[in-house]
Amino acid sequence: VQLMEAGGDSVQAGGSLRLSCVVSGDTSSSYYMAWFRQAPGKERDGIAAIRTNGKTTYARAVRDRFTISRDDAMNTLYLQMSDLKPEDTAKYYCAAQPPEQRLEHFPFMAGAYNSWGQGTQVTVSS
């Protein structure tokens, strides 16, 4: 499966953005999907995940500000981001993996995901 993110931009603090991630290739399968982000010099961190049944998990840093959703008919994953802060500046990646037990307990285990997009840059200025 191939993933392609879009929607990154430069915004002022307090602004909003919506990222999208289009899935192509083997779209006949259901995937556990997630958004990660990586700032320069830092590790890639998981911030939002969504199971095939729609259940979501968020990292504390983005809870109540970001919303992950999926449109399986359009093979697209979304990340609605609001009240953006300078510390949200990073490259954002989407990831996909067929459902497996370890993701139920560790949805932000980057090594568990085999499919990644190329990333989209989000820059938030104060």
pLDDT in tens, 11-49: 999 999 999 999 999 876 789 999 999 999 999 999 999
What count of residues does the chain have? 126
Q: Return the pLDDT at 27.
A: 79
pLDDT in tens, 91-125: 999 999 999 889 999 999 999 999 999 999 999 99
* pLDDT for res 95: 97
Query: What is the predicted pLDDT for the residue at 60?
Result: 97
Identify the weakest region by mean pLDDT among 24-33, 46-55, 76-85: 24-33
- How high is the pLDDT of residue 82? 98
Give the model's pLDDT for residue 1. Answer: 92
pLDDT of residue 29: 74
The answer to whether the CB of 113 falls within 8 A of the CB of 96 is yes
DSSP, collapsed to helix, strand or coil, labels residue 81 as strand
Tell me the average pLDDT across 52-64: 95
Dump the DSSP string for 32-59. Answer: EEEEEEE-TTS--EEEEEE-TTS-EEE-
Q: How many CB atoms lie within 10 A of CB 101?
A: 7
